[in-house]
């Protein structure tokens, strides 16, 4: 394990911040290089190497590869659904060209032996069955983000089949964590709602009350990501991206759960353009392939997650953030 060098691209995002911490726990601080287009106030800058990297800058990327010779790359930099809809051309460019830069480096026989790249429930569309969404089925994404994820899935499979690049991927549901700010996603109301519950006891929700979406608590997302990356190659039978599920709930259900802890908490519903995005996504995911192939089991349901989120956000605020 100690011969491994891990490069994380987009390490200041929701997932990256927590993934870098876990990877440093496994491989050692100096073996995990975090990169992002800019620094924020995350603790990851104090715990190991950091390089500024815009993944569209191929020559800087190659310099970093030369310098560190990473054996694994986690490529997380992307525009999420709502942000990409505001700037569709750039959303496509960043999400696709960034991926090609990583895949081509792996294909060209640089040091890289394995690549992780996340897909999303956004790769599905209105003709996908919304309940028990199967691994394979109609995929007709309607957002630029979703189109880039579906195209990316096909390309990571292509690079695996054609050039043997060991690509691994998960279709994340909405990810919920307390260590970083929401990152412009349609599911991110489910992060903001906890902060609002503690700060102002009121949440203005941009989705309608009964919009059920699949979600996953961050510790489960990290666990799944590491499991799929650490699994023996023979167990990875999906070279597009695995369906992954944790829990499913609506805004009204998460609101009611939070209310059991904070009785004065109130909510109002003012849906906007993100409602249409949410309507095109699945509600409940069938992740039986992940369970069968590499033993996926989530640990958190809505109740456990809510207790943990409120506890941790309270602590963050009492520490003065």
Q: Which residues does the annotation mark as catalytic?
A: 145
Q: Taking each helix axis from N to C terminus, what angle separates 302-318 and 251-259, rounded to the nearest 10 degrees?
A: 60
Tokens of 308: 């943990």
- Taking the least distance from each CB to ligand SER, the nearer of 23 and 122 is 122
The span from the CA of 313 to the CA of 318, in Å, is: 9
Q: Between 174 and 213, how does the x/- string for binding to ligand SER read (CB under 6 A)? A: xx---------xxx--------------------------
Of 106-114, 168-176, 204-212, 219-227, the segment contacting ligand SER by CB under 6 A is 168-176
Question: Which among 98-106, 169-177, 235-243, 303-311 is the span making contact with ligand SER, rule CB under 6 A?
Answer: 169-177
Among 72, 120, 180, 243, binds ligand SER (CB under 6 A): 120
Task: Tell the smallest beta-carbon distance from residue 79 to ligand SER (Å).
Answer: 9
Cα distances (angstroms) measured from residue 32 to each of 23, 64, 113, 292: 7, 13, 15, 30
Q: Among 27, 68, 124, 172, which residue interacts with ligand SER (rule: CB under 6 A)? A: 172
Residues in the chain: 321
d(CA 18, CA 183): 14
Q: Kindly indicate which of the ranges 101-109, 171-179, 217-225, 241-249 contains the residues binding ligand SER, using the contact rule CB under 6 A.
A: 171-179
To ligand SER, the closest distance from the beta carbon of 80 in angstroms equals: 4
CB of 59 to ligand SER, least distance (A): 30
Q: Under the criterion CB under 6 A, does residue 246 sit at the interface with ligand SER? A: no
Provide the b/e sequence for 92-125 (b: ≥16 CB within 10 Å): bebbbebbebbbebbbeebbbebbbbbbbbbbbb
Closest CA to 152 of 197, 111, 211, 101: 101
Q: Label residues 237-259 b or e (16+ Cβ within 10 Å = b).
A: ebbbbbbbbbbbbbbbebbebbe
Q: Which is nearer to ligand SER, 35 or 120 (CB)?
A: 120
Which positions from 55 through 84 interact with ligand SER, judged by CB under 6 A? 80-81
Q: Say whether 256 sits in a helix, a strand or coil.
A: helix
Residues 80-119 that bind ligand SER (CB under 6 A): 80-81
Residue 141 and residue 125 in contact, taking contact as beta carbons nearer than 8 Å: yes
Report yes or no: 71 and 121 within 8 Å, Cβ to Cβ: no
Contacts with 265 (C-beta within 8 Å, 6 or more apart), sequence order? 197, 201, 202, 203, 255, 258, 259
Closest CB to ligand SER among residues 175, 193: 175
Question: Under the criterion CB under 6 A, does residue 245 sit at the interface with ligand SER?
Answer: no
- Number of residues forming the site for ligand SER (CB under 6 A): 12
The minimum distance between CB 120 and ligand SER, in angstroms, equals 3
| 122 or 283: CB nearest ligand SER | 122
Do 221 and 15 contact (CB within 8 A), yes or no? Answer: yes
Pick between residue 82 and residue 106 the one whose CB is nearest to ligand SER: 82
Query: Smallest distance from the beta carbon of 280 to ligand SER, in angstroms?
Result: 11
Smallest gap from residue 111 Cβ to ligand SER (A): 30
Nearest to 77 by CA among 40, 105, 118: 118
Closer by beta carbon to ligand SER, 72 or else 148? 148
- Under the criterion CB under 6 A, does residue 121 sit at the interface with ligand SER? yes
In degrees, rounded to 5, the angle at the alpha carbon of residue 78 between the alpha carbons of residues 74 and 80 is 130
At 4, list the tokens.
């491994």
Which is nearer to ligand SER, 122 or 254 (by Cβ)? 122
User: Which chain residues interact with ligand SER by CB under 6 A?
Assistant: 80-81, 120-122, 145, 172, 174-175, 185-187
């Amino acid at each position: 394990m100690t011969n491994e060098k891990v490069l994380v691209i987009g390490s200041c995002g929701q997932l990256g911040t927590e993934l870098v911490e876990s990877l440093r726990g496994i491989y050692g601080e100096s073996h995990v290089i975090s990169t992002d287009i800019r620094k924020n106030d995350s603790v990851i800058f104090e715990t190991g190497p950091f390089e500024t990297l815009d993944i569209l800058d191929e020559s800087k990327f190659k310099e970093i590869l030369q310098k560190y010779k990473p054996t694994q790359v986690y490529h997380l930099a992307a525009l999420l659904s709502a942000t990409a809809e505001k700037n569709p051309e750039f959303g496509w460019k960043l999400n696709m060209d960034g991926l090609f830069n990583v895949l081509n480096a792996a294909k060209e026989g640089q040091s890289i032996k394995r690549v992780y790249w996340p897909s999303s429930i956004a790769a599905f569309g209105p003709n996908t069955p919304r309940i028990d969404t199967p691994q394979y089925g109609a995929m007709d994404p309607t957002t630029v983000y979703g189109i880039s994820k579906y195209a990316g899935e096909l390309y990571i499979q292509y690079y695996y089949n054609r050039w043997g690049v060991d690509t691994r991927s998960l279709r994340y549901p909405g990810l919920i964590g307390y260590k970083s700010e929401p990152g412009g996603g349609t599911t991110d109301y489910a992060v903001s709602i906890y902060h609002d519950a503690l700060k102002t006891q009121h949440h203005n929700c941009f989705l309608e009350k009964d919009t059920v979406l699949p979600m996953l608590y961050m510790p489960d997302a990290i666990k799944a990501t590491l499991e799929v990356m650490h699994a023996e190659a023979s167990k990875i039978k999906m070279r597009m991206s695995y369906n992954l599920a944790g829990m499913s709930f609506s805004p009204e259900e998460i609101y009611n759960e939070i209310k059991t802890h904070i009785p004065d908490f109130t909510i109002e519903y003012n849906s906007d353009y993100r409602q249409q995005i949410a309507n095109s996504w699945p509600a409940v995911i069938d992740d039986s392939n992940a369970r069968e192939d590499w033993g996926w089991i989530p640990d958190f349901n809505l109740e456990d997650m809510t207790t943990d989120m409120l506890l941790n956000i309270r602590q963050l605020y009492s520490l003065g953030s």
